[in-house]
Amino acid sequence: MRNLSVTLVQCELAWEQPEDNRRQIGEILAGVGSETDLMVLPEMFTTGFSMNALANAEEPGGATEAWMMGQARQYDCAVTGSIAVRVGRAVYNRMLFATPDGIQHYDKRHLFRMAGEHKRYRAGGERVIVQWRDWRILLQVCYDLRFPVFSRNREDYDLALYVANWPAPRRHHWRQLLIARAIENLSCVVGVNRIGADAKGLEYSGDSLAVAADGTLLADALSESVARTVVLDGAALQKYREAFPCHLDADRFKLE
């Protein structure tokens, strides 16, 4: 299993300004270039965490999907993050995973009711794992982090990605839960959050992290505006799982 270079893109987001956000993030990605395998952007990176779902939603294959495909092809890497996507009458908080060959997606399952997200968006139902450069990658969005059953490793993934707009008052929860997800699932975990304030006055502290399967912090973006690249060691992950195979004693269950 090869190593995987992952870039955590932690930045401010312009409220409901997709073109501005694509432009500023494009400038950040240009600084990283082709020196990474995977670029991870925050949740709803084109608009911020807006409940104006219909007004902000793009059609499948829209401007942001095309932009992500362009970035993936230009830098020969994968690019992922979530946006609002309209399918028929429903709008999804959709995490897109773009590679030079195409786009896969995961629709956020756990909608943040404290902000009314469950009234504006439709929940997804499928757990999604993508394959990229020898790694099996679980796609997750923000509030999903609080529900460990949905993300339980069934020996089917090596890296869990969480993209988020997670407010600063609950930063301790974010940091501790990312570490817990890594330890309990014998998996690497990367969580990417935004910084700055949104139009509702909510502050975001960032705290984007990359975590090894034993809970060791590999990268901590703190509250900086930064694109930080970390190398996930595939051989070390396999070695740790072989030395501490607690997954062999995991409880079996069925997710409904």
Average pLDDT, the chain: 97
Give the pLDDT confidence score for residue 256 in this predicted structure: 79
String of b and e for 167-206 (b: at least 16 CB within 10 Å)? Answer: bbeebeebbebbbebbbbbbbbbbbbbbbbbbeeebebbb
Q: Which CATH number fits domain 4-249: 3.40.50.1820, 3.60.110.10, 3.40.50.300, 3.40.50.80?
A: 3.60.110.10
- Listing DSSP states for 127-185 in one string gives --EEEETTEEEEEEEGGGGG-TTTT---S--SEEEEE---BGGGHHHHHHHHHHHHHHH
Q: Is the pTM here over 0.85, yes or no? A: yes
Q: Which residues are catalytic?
A: 43, 108, 142
Largest CA distance in the chain: 51
Token couple for 116: 């009314």
Give the pLDDT confidence score for residue 254 in this predicted structure: 83
Give the pLDDT confidence score for residue 45 in this predicted structure: 98
Give the pLDDT confidence score for residue 253 in this predicted structure: 84
Q: Name the stretches of the chain with pLDDT < 70.
A: none
d(CA 87, CA 79): 22
β-strand 203-205 against 38-40: which pairing, if any? unpaired
Give the pLDDT confidence score for residue 33 in this predicted structure: 87
> Any idea where the domains of the chain sit in the sequence?
4-249
Give the pLDDT confidence score for residue 252 in this predicted structure: 86
Give the pLDDT confidence score for residue 237 in this predicted structure: 98
